[in-house]
Structure 1
Amino acid sequence: MRRAGRGCPAEPVRESGGRRTAVGLRHAVVPAAGLGRHRQGVRFAEVGAEFSFGEGEAVRPTEDRPGDRTANVLGPTGIGKLQIGMTTQEAEATGMVEAGEGDDDCGSWYLKPDVNGDAVVGWSSRGLVSIPAYDRIVTPEGIRIGSSLDQVEAAYDDLTGVAADKDGGSWGDGPALGGQEDEHAGVHYRFLFVNGAVVKLILEHDQPRC
Structure 2
Amino acid sequence: MPTNRVRRTATTVTALVTLALLAACTGAGRPEAAPVGSATPAASAPAGAAPSASVPATAAPTATALAGPVLGPYGLGRLRLGQTRPEALATGEIGGVDGSGGCGPVELKAAPAAEVESSGVTFSDRLGMVAIHAYSGVRTAEGLVEGATYAEVKRIYPNWVSATGDGGGKEGHGVVDVPGNAKAHYRIDVFQGKVRSISLQLKNQDCYE
Q: Flag the structure with higher strand content.
A: 1
Sequence identity percentage: 30
Are the counterparts in 2 of residues 120 and 132 from structure 1 also a CA contact under 8 Å?
yes
User: Aligned match of 2:176 in 178, 190, 194?
Assistant: 178
Q: How far did residue 186 of structure 1 move?
A: 1.1
1:132-154 per-position Cα deviation (integer Å, ceiling 9, x unaligned): 11121101111010111121112
Q: How far did residue 102 of structure 1 move?
A: 5.6
Paired position in structure 2 for 1:147: 148
SS of residue in 2 equivalent to 1:201: strand
The 1:71/1:136 distance shift into structure 2, 3 A limit, reads closer
Q: How far did residue 159 of structure 1 move?
A: 1.4
Paired position in structure 1 for 2:91: 94
2:84 corresponds to which letter in structure 1?
T
SS of residue in 2 equivalent to 1:190: strand
1:120-178 per-position Cα deviation (integer Å, ceiling 9, x unaligned): 21000201011111121101111010111121112123213346x6xx86322211111
Are the counterparts in 2 of residues 87 and 128 from structure 1 also a CA contact under 8 Å?
yes
Paired position in structure 1 for 2:31: none
SS of residue in 2 equivalent to 1:76: coil
Asked if residue 108 in structure 1 is aligned to residue 105 in structure 2, the reply is yes
Count how many residue pairs are aligned between Structure 1 and Structure 2: 138
TM-score of the two chains, using structure 1 as the length reference: 0.59
1:15-54 per-position Cα deviation (integer Å, ceiling 9, x unaligned): xxxxxxxxxxxxxxxxxxxxxxxxxxxxxxxxxxxxxxxx
Paired position in structure 1 for 2:120: 120
Asked if residue 197 in structure 1 is aligned to residue 198 in structure 2, the reply is no
Structure 1 unaligned regions, length at least 5: 1-68
Structure 2 unaligned regions, length at least 5: 1-65
Whole-angstrom CA distance in 2 between matches of 1:110 and 1:70 = 22
Whole-angstrom CA distance in 2 between matches of 1:71 and 1:143 = 11
Whole-angstrom CA distance in 1 between matches of 2:67 and 2:93 = 13
Paired position in structure 1 for 2:135: 134
Whole-angstrom CA distance in 2 between matches of 1:122 and 1:97 = 11
Paired position in structure 2 for 1:79: 76
Q: Flag the structure with higher helix content.
A: 2
**What CA RMSD, in Å, does the superposition of the two structures yield over aligned residues?**
2.3
Are the counterparts in 1 of residues 84 and 129 from structure 2 also a CA contact under 8 Å?
yes
